[in-house]
Amino acid sequence: MSSPGDSRRTTARRRETALFLLAVPALLLLGIIFAWPVLRLLAMSVEDGTLANFEKATLDELYLYVLFDSVKIAAMVMAICLLVAYPVAFWLSRAGRWGVALGMFALLLPFWTSVLVRTYAWLVLLGRNGVVNRWLRDAGLIDAPLPLLHNTSGVLIGMVHVLLPYMVFPIYASLLRIDPDLSRAAEGLGAPAWRSFLRVTFPLSLPGVSAGCALVFVLSLGFFITPALLGGGRVIMVSMLIEQQVREFLDWPFAAALSTVLLVATLAIYALIGRITRGARHA
Amino acid sequence: MRRRRVSQILLGLFAGLVFLFLLLPLAVVFPISLSSASYLQFPPPGFSWQWYQRYLDDPSWIDATIRSVKVASLCTVLAMGLGVPLTFFLVRSRLPGVRVLDRLAAAPIIVPTIILSIALYGVFARLQLIGEWYGVAVAHTVLALPFVVILVSAGLRGFDEAQEQAAAGLGASWPAIIWRVTLPQLRPSLVSAAFLSFISSFDELVLAMFLSGASMTLPKKMFDNIMMEIDPTIAAVSVLQILLVAVALGLTSLFGRGALTTTITR
């Protein structure tokens, strides 16, 4: 005699088996086309049994400089995105139906347009005789063209343009989740609007802020196309260094060591920012 | 009260400027693509369709376009065919290891694409898969999977499982229940996920740069064109691409009933 508990357990086990079978093809793909090749690449860095490649990547002044420069650019992109995205997300969270529709259009259309199309457009806009410099000169604001392209400012403009939506969306989402009665209550009790924002709304939006910061930082650190095209060879990021090692020097072990450093830095920063957020949420 | 009005206007003005900044690069390629000049010149001296003509007449542009459509289509089919079942497992299974696998499915977003690219370059070179369009499609599937999982799991979490139990109680088989009851209600998420998979593959350059070899995808062809000579053909291609995204976005918001924006704001 089987009890009803037994049959329930059998059903549950059968359900788990069926669910797992559904996942097998995708997990196989992720294993064969993602996890295994990446781990195999990382293992190449210590193929010769020494840490020589890591010493070269982290002690040689040239490579160390590129590494720091990449982190510096990623941090700058993150900071600019945060400063620009927060007011936009805040405006969106208070906007009416048409405002939200307009905002979503302006955010989503570039978001899904090829990075290449946008980079090409910036080449046209920011060049010495580009559209922006022409406008500024015609307006009498400048005498000589501003160097906007083939340097750090060009890379920053291009990267902020690509990554801004990644910052706006999480902040907007966390602002929407805040009960509007909270700030109304604060103001009803006599707090001026700026104080109710600083003490009520802003702290409650911090989960979105840190999610956006983590995403933007991590994505910028691995950026490749935009700095390659807008930096004009004067801005070198780690990803470009990795590509160069594989393409030009065929130095796979060293490229693997650089990849390992980039991946570890990416994961560490991601975990760190996640941790700060959790701390902020419990405070 | 008055101070409040002023700050609201300033905020709106700022948001408007940011939207302008976001749309400006998209807007600027339209006039360039219709230029009558034989090289890049802004503002264009006159009107002409010559760059569209040149795009249509050049077999290498058309080949690259067809290849990209093929790659993106296969990538969409694979990402949906594998990603939707995977999402059912990730959302519904109570196995202890499911959280780890959830991380694995999201990892392709976090791991820099350049790392995956050279990793796959090594593997594909050994298997002689470089230059095969389906190889690029399979690699793109890895990048599209996280989007599918995020969008479909948002839809699946909002779905009431009691409906499936009711159908089962009435004697329906499980495949029929999933096909007739569950999936139709997930349609907004499914449409959005398919759209994102297609566009993410159609626009992808870094993997394609390493894996497509001599048989270029459209982004690779555009990249080479920008590196060698910036002629306005690329502006015409850009306009066509922007229009494609705009139409796809419009269709998705029509059939996806806002699944895209609700997932973004979750």
The answer to whether B101 contacts chain A (CB < 8 Å) is yes
The residue type of B133 is W
Shared-domain flag, residues A73 and A11:
no
Quote the CA–CA distance of B30 and A65 in Å, as a whole number.
40
- Among residues B197, B192, B194, the alpha carbon closest in space to that of B260 is found at B192
The answer to whether B159 contacts chain A (CB < 8 Å) is no
Helix axes A152-176, A115-126, angle to 10 degrees: 130
Q: How confident is the model at residue B21, as a pLDDT?
A: 95
What integer is the mean pLDDT of B113-119? 95
Shared-domain flag, residues A75 and A17:
no
Question: Among the three residues A24, A44, A64, which one is the final residue of a domain in this structure?
Answer: A44
Contact A20 B93 (CB under 8 A): yes
Shared-domain flag, residues A97 and A25:
no
Give how far A258 is from chain B: nearest CA, Å.
Answer: 9
Shared-domain flag, residues A8 and A82:
no
Residue-number span of the structural domain to which A273 is assigned: 52-282
pLDDT 10s digit of each residue in chain A, 283 long? 456 667 778 888 888 898 999 999 999 999 999 999 999 999 999 888 888 888 888 888 888 889 899 999 999 999 999 999 999 999 999 888 888 888 988 998 998 888 889 998 998 899 888 888 888 888 888 888 888 888 899 999 999 999 999 999 999 999 998 888 887 888 888 888 788 888 888 888 888 898 899 989 999 999 999 998 898 888 889 999 999 999 888 889 999 999 999 999 999 988 887 777 666 554 4
Residues of B in contact with A80 (CB under 8 A): none
Quote the CA–CA distance of B22 and A135 in Å, as a whole number.
18
For residue B230, what is the nearest residue in chain A, using CA coordinates? A120
A36, A112, A132, A267: which to substitute to probe chain B, counting the most B Cβ within 10 Å? Answer: A112
Pick from B32, B114, B139: which is nearest to A242 by CB? Answer: B114
Q: How confident is the model at residue A32, as a pLDDT?
A: 95
Pick from B111, B138, B222: which is nearest to A116 by CB? Answer: B222
Shared-domain flag, residues A15 and A145:
no
Shared-domain flag, residues A265 and A153:
yes
Number of A to B CB contacts under 8 A, please give it: 234
Quote the CA–CA distance of A271 and B156 in Å, as a whole number.
27
Pick from B26, B82, B223: which is nearest to A25 by CB? Answer: B82
**Total number of domains constituting chain A:** 2
Pick from B88, B123, B241: which is nearest to A19 by CB? Answer: B88
Quote the CA–CA distance of A110 and A228 in Å, as a whole number.
20
Q: How confident is the model at residue B1, as a pLDDT?
A: 53
| Res. B201: pLDDT tops 50 | yes
Shared-domain flag, residues A119 and A138:
yes
A8, A29, A66, A169: which to substitute to probe chain B, counting the most B Cβ within 10 Å? Answer: A29
User: Which of the four pLDDT bands, split at 50, 70 and 90, describes residue B266?
Assistant: low
**What is chain A written as a DSSP string?**
---HHHHHHHHHHHHHHHHHHHHHHHHHHIIIIIIHHHHHHHHHTTTTSSSHHHHHHHHSHHHHHHHHHHHHHHHHHHHHHHHHHHHHHHHHHH--HHHHHHHHHHHHHHHHS-HHHHHHHHHHHHSTTSHHHHHHHHTTS-SS----SSSHHHHHHHHHHHHHHHHHHHHHHHHHTS-HHHHHHHHHTT--HHHHIIIIIHHHTHHHHHHHHHHHHHHHHT--HHHHHHSTTSS--HHHHHHHHHHTS--HHHHHHHHHHHHHHHHHHHHHHHHHHHHHHH-
Q: How confident is the model at residue A283, as a pLDDT?
A: 43
Shared-domain flag, residues A208 and A86:
yes
Shared-domain flag, residues A64 and A93:
yes
pTM > 0.90: no
Question: CA dist B77 to A95, B67, B208, Å?
Answer: 37, 16, 18
- Report CA dihedral (B61, B67, B73, B74) to the nearest 10 degrees: -160
CATH number for the domain harbouring residue A232: 1.10.3720.10
Contact B82 A119 (CB under 8 A): no
The residue type of B175 is P
User: Which of the four pLDDT bands, split at 50, 70 and 90, describes residue B257?
Assistant: low
Given a contact cutoff of 8 angstroms between Cβ atoms, the answer to whether A168 and A85 are in contact is yes
Q: Set out the domains of chain B in order of their start, with CATH numbers.
A: 66-264 (1.10.3720.10)
Q: How confident is the model at residue B2, as a pLDDT?
A: 63
- Among residues B163, B169, B147, the alpha carbon closest in space to that of B75 is found at B147
- Mean of all residue pLDDT scores within chain B: 88
Q: How confident is the model at residue A86, as a pLDDT?
A: 96
Question: CA dist B44 to A267, B36, B239, Å?
Answer: 47, 7, 16
Helix axes B59-92, A4-29, angle to 10 degrees: 160
H helix runs in chain B, sequence order:
2-33, 50-57, 59-92, 98-110, 113-127, 133-157, 162-169, 174-177, 183-185, 187-203, 206-211, 218-228, 233-255, 259-264
Q: How confident is the model at residue A281, as a pLDDT?
A: 52
Q: How confident is the model at residue B32, as a pLDDT?
A: 85
Reading the block at residue A251, the tokens are: 């130095």
Q: Which of residues 197-226 of B touch A (CB under 8 A)?
A: 199, 202-203, 205-206, 219, 222-223, 226
Shared-domain flag, residues A91 and A18:
no
Question: CA dist A54 to A46, A48, A89, B134, B142, Å?
Answer: 9, 12, 42, 35, 28
Quote the CA–CA distance of A196 and B4 in Å, as a whole number.
13
For residue B261, what is the nearest residue in chain A, using CA coordinates? A104
Shared-domain flag, residues A24 and A159:
no
Q: What is the pLDDT of residues B23-72, one digit of tens each?
A: 999 998 888 888 877 766 667 777 888 889 989 999 999 999 999 999 99
Contact B205 A131 (CB under 8 A): no
User: Which of the four pLDDT bands, split at 50, 70 and 90, describes residue B13?
Assistant: very high
Shared-domain flag, residues A30 and A161:
no
For residue B242, what is the nearest residue in chain A, using CA coordinates? A113
